[in-house]
Amino acid sequence: MRTAYTVDRIRAAEQALMAQLPPGTLMQRAAAGLATACADFLGGCYGAEVVVVAGTGDNGGDALYAGARLARRGARVSAIVLDQAKVHRGGVAALTTAGGWVLAPDEYATAIAGADLVLDGIVGIGGKPGLRPPADRVLDLVEEHAVPVVAVDVPSGIDVDTGETPARHVRAELTVTFGAHKIGLLVDPGATAAGLVHLVDIGLGPYLGEPDVEALQADDVAERLPEPSRASHKYSRGVVGVVAGSEQYTGAAVLAVGGAVAGPVGMVRYVGPPEPTRYVRARWPDVVCGEGRVQAWVVGSGLGDDPARADEVRRILASGLPVLVDADGLRHLPERCEGPVLLTPHEGELARLLGVEREAVTARRLHYARAAAARWNATVLLKGATTVVAAPDGRVRVNTVSVPWVATAGSGDVLSGVCGSLLAAGLDPLEAGSVGAYLHQTAGVLASRGGPITADDLARAVPAAYRMLLGGDE
């Protein structure tokens, strides 16, 4: 499990640990891990040109001490000190003793133009979003010359507790973070700004407590994937009902059912109009068409605007069974959901539900997913490159497995079927949403190895992803 914490929680853990250690120990641990990660990123230190951009406080100190270690390993390391009065003096001394040097302002452009790597030590977890002079002018040069950036702890300028980027910020290829993941490294748009994230263990673990955000890893998903026993039969494995598609959107029915069939349940029932029913029967002969007992419902994909379908959504939500609501079904939510409900909007759908602009949801994904979960008393799966799954009790998971080819028409229909199948197999909405999102994206990774994919390719790859996560063959 990858776990992330607020700045306050991390600060408290650091203080508790530092009280047990000699002064400066944590900074040296961080600098050692940072230097090693930079050397790996460069493919070796000798002769590499590294520019350290050092702000005030400990973040700048981490960067300067790491620069000193790189200089001792043969790199040519120079430093841009943004505030001479508040720079970490010990870090500057270590760098110059190791053979590095501090640049004058008229040397910045030449140094950055020739750099193999820029080390972003401008601000750390205590910084506010955005960059101020002279840091923004230095970033101009970095972007002009397209120099790779390694961020120290977090990319400078992001909101560390939310992943929001309301003002200018660093975009790193690698972020080396210390002690624990920060929420802004897992949630977009901050996660995108962070690039790859490498965690350096500095000993905070025993002091952190329960995480604020979680991200499942492959082993976590494997532990949660339902498996039949020797005594299982199709009913005991779970039956999921799918209400999707219309005369206009027949494909939504086929794809949602395809996602459900690919999941762990023993039976899928489809309920819909004659035309999509015909397509479902042709594509999935093992699916039972018509009403009957189910353990969970998937409703909404491709329903269109027929008032009768709206009544169907409301009836299913009133059943007390676990329900996944997607797409057109989201238009017909009650004032407050009762029972286990999983909502799966994309950013535009969530914006319409909450009465805000889509751009606002894009900029504040964690905030609005949490707000919707509280508003409707339901778990909300906000689709995107880093999917956010927020439960009404405040728990949050994000899915960091992502492949761009999954952004294709019908992909969300497949996801709804997969997650609904997990609901019917006994997982609660938070587990079904987070496990389903991971399984869906893993299927995307497998399906897209040759390039572009369709939603049907995605559905077909789900069983292979399931087998791979359980330790079987692809």
pTM value is 0.94
Q: Residue 234, annotated ligand binder?
A: no
For residue 72, give both structure tokens. 């001792």
Q: Residue 252, annotated ligand binder?
A: yes
Q: Residue 191, annotated ligand binder?
A: no
Q: Residue 162, annotated ligand binder?
A: no
Q: Residue 40, annotated ligand binder?
A: no
Q: Residue 125, annotated ligand binder?
A: yes
Q: Residue 332, annotated ligand binder?
A: no
For residue 15, give both structure tokens. 């203080």
For residue 348, give both structure tokens. 């535009």
Q: Residue 282, annotated ligand binder?
A: no
Low-confidence ranges of the chain (pLDDT < 50): none
Q: Residue 472, annotated ligand binder?
A: no
Could you tell me how far CA 274 lies from the centroid of its own chain? 39
Task: Please report the pLDDT score of residue 473 as a whole number.
Answer: 58
Q: Residue 130, annotated ligand binder?
A: yes
Q: Residue 128, annotated ligand binder?
A: yes
Q: Residue 61, annotated ligand binder?
A: yes
Contact 287, 268 (CB under 8 A): yes
Q: Residue 100, annotated ligand binder?
A: no
Percent of the chain with pLDDT over 70: 99
Q: Residue 384, annotated ligand binder?
A: yes
Q: Residue 383, annotated ligand binder?
A: yes
Task: Determine the 3-state secondary structure of 313 from DSSP.
Answer: helix
**How many alpha carbons lie under 13 Å from residue 444 in its C-beta half-sphere?**
23
Task: Please report the pLDDT score of residue 306 as a whole number.
Answer: 84
CA distances from 351 to 356, 366, 382 (A): 5, 13, 11
- The DSSP letter of residue 343 is E
The domains found in the chain, sorted by start residue, are 2-213 (3.40.50.10260), 218-469 (3.40.1190.20)
Q: Residue 292, annotated ligand binder?
A: no
Q: Residue 126, annotated ligand binder?
A: yes
Q: Residue 114, annotated ligand binder?
A: no
Q: Residue 120, annotated ligand binder?
A: yes
Q: Residue 348, annotated ligand binder?
A: no
Distance (Å, whole) CA 48 – CA 43: 9
Task: Please report the pLDDT score of residue 472 as a whole number.
Answer: 66
